[in-house]
Amino acid sequence: MISVSNIERFATRDGPGIRTTVFLKGCPLHCPWCANPETWQKEPVLMHMENKCVHCRICESVCTRHAISFEEKMFRIRRESCDHCGQCAEACLNSALSINGTYMENEAVLREVLKDLDYYRESGGGVTFSGGEPLFQKEAAVSLIKQAKESGLHVAIETTGVCEPSLLQQAEPYIDLFLFDIKHVNEEKLSAVTGAPFEIVQKNFEYLCEKRGGDVIARVPVIPGFNREDLDEILTFIKAHPVRAVNLLPFHNLGKTKWHQLQKDYAYEEASSLSAKELEPYRDELVTIGG
């Protein structure tokens, strides 16, 4: 069984052609701009939409573990007490509560993915495993990736690069395309802001580039205040490797509501999205703007 956050069909920004992106749960990083913070933990997670909540407190009354309260007229959840049984979400008449995350058999995941096989064939698409970090769930993830490949699918992964090198090496033969995040090349900055150890990222990146450079697309989420100013340095690093392409992904704040639903503070509350135009000067034969 593997913990799945979401399966998105007709995903158009996660690799070539028409794709289905499987968002797997669990991530060793905690990037403050993350657009999918609900994927950080492998276990299911309760999400609450304040704009749908009428404070009827039915959820509070059905929670057997007393994880929910409405102190100071605010919905509160003690996550350490929540066993994500889902009773509160079922009881909520306004659908303000939901549980993100389901454990699925590989076959069930692939059944869903294969529904669009004809579209992949027509467009040169396939499946993309994203996250979270798609390899966070280790052997379970490798097994799913392998099975996807054996089903005849074009397989891509969207990886943070933060995983045991041996795992990546196990999975590598079953992957056609690596969308590899290079968030920063400054060890301290990277670690302080995202928690990622650059050493591992670099090791995995170099391994892939050496073996499969033509199948590696390096992706740089361009974040104001984090790496926007260091882009030259980052691109120099990437370009020293034989990658197929580099995508600069301008910062967007579309994940904001998810942070709210998880009762997490979002560091970019007031920040506006970065315009693609601003990154145009970096465009060249290797570098494109957007996914």
Partner 1 sequence: MARINIEGAQNVNVSKRLPSEKTPDEQLAIMEAYTRAHQESLNRNKAERELNCLKVLFPTLFRRIEPQDLIAGRLDFLPIGFGSVTSIGGVGHYCVFHELRAFSERLEDPEKKARAMALYDYWQDHDVKALYCNDVLNDTTTGRFIDCKYPFMATARLSGMMLNYEKLVRLGINGICDELNRVEDNDFIRACIGAMDLFKDVIQKQIQLVQNAMADADPKRMKELVQMKEDLEFLLDHKPETFRQALQLLWLFALCAGCINYGRLDIVLGPYLKRDLENGTLTWEEAREIVRSLWTLIENRRTTVNGRIIVGGQGRKDPEACDLFARLCLEVCRSTKYVEPQFTLRFDSTTPKELLDMAYDCLASGHTYPTLYNDDVNVPAVAWGMRVDRKTAEQYVPFGCTEYVIQGKSTGTPNTLLNLLKILQMALNEGVDPMDGINKAGPVHVKKLEEFHTFEEFFDQYKQLLDYYFDLSVQAQKYSYEVMNREVSFLFTSILMDDCIARGRALLDGGVEILGGTNETYGNINTSDALYAIRKLVFEDRKYTLRQLNDAALADFEGQENARIRKDLLAQGKYGNDIEEVDTLANELYEYVAKGIRDRGIAAGLGYYLIVISNNQTNSDWGLQTDASLDGRKKGMYMNPANNPVGGAAKNGPTACMNSLAKFDAKYHAGSVQNMKFTPRMMKEDEAKVRAMWKTYFKKGGCQLMVTCVDPGELEDAMVHPENHTDLIVRVAGYSAVFINLDRHVQEELLSRELYD
Does 280 bind partner 1 (CB under 8 A)? Our answer is: no
Smallest CA-to-CA distance from 161 within 152, 151, 171, 153 is with 171
Rounded to the nearest whole angstrom, what is the least distance from the CB of residue 95 to partner 1 in the complex?
7
Chosen residue from 6, 123, 147, 247 binding partner 1 by CB under 8 A: 123
Window 7-26: residues binding partner 1 (CB under 8 A): 8-10, 12, 17-18
Q: Determine, following the binding rule CB under 8 A, whether residue 119 of this chain makes contact with partner 1.
A: yes
Residue from 34, 59, 77, 116 touching partner 1 (CB under 8 A): that is 116
Is 288 one of the binding residues for partner 1 (CB under 8 A)? no
Using CB under 8 A, pick the residue from 65, 79, 115, 283 that binds partner 1: 115
Stretch that binds partner 1, among 2-10, 73-81, 152-160, 185-193 (CB under 8 A): 2-10
Measured from the CB atom, the residue of 97 and 193 that comes closer to partner 1 is 97
Contact with partner 1 (CB under 8 A) among 83, 105, 107, 122: 122
CB-based burial of residue 93 (10 Å sphere; 0-12 exposed, 13-18 middle, 19+ buried)? exposed
Contact between 60 and partner 1 (CB under 8 A)? no
Interatomic CA distance for residues 236 and 47, integer angstroms: 40
Closest CA to 174 of 120, 134, 117, 116: 134
* Segment near partner 1 (CB under 8 A); pick from 91-99, 154-162, 212-220, 279-287: 91-99
Which of 93, 166, 254, 270 touches partner 1 by CB under 8 A? 93
How big is the site for partner 1, counted in residues (CB under 8 A)?
17
Q: Least Å distance between CB 119 and partner 1?
A: 5
The residues of the shown chain that bind partner 1, judged by CB under 8 A, are 8-10, 12, 17-18, 91, 93, 95, 115-116, 118-119, 121-123, 125
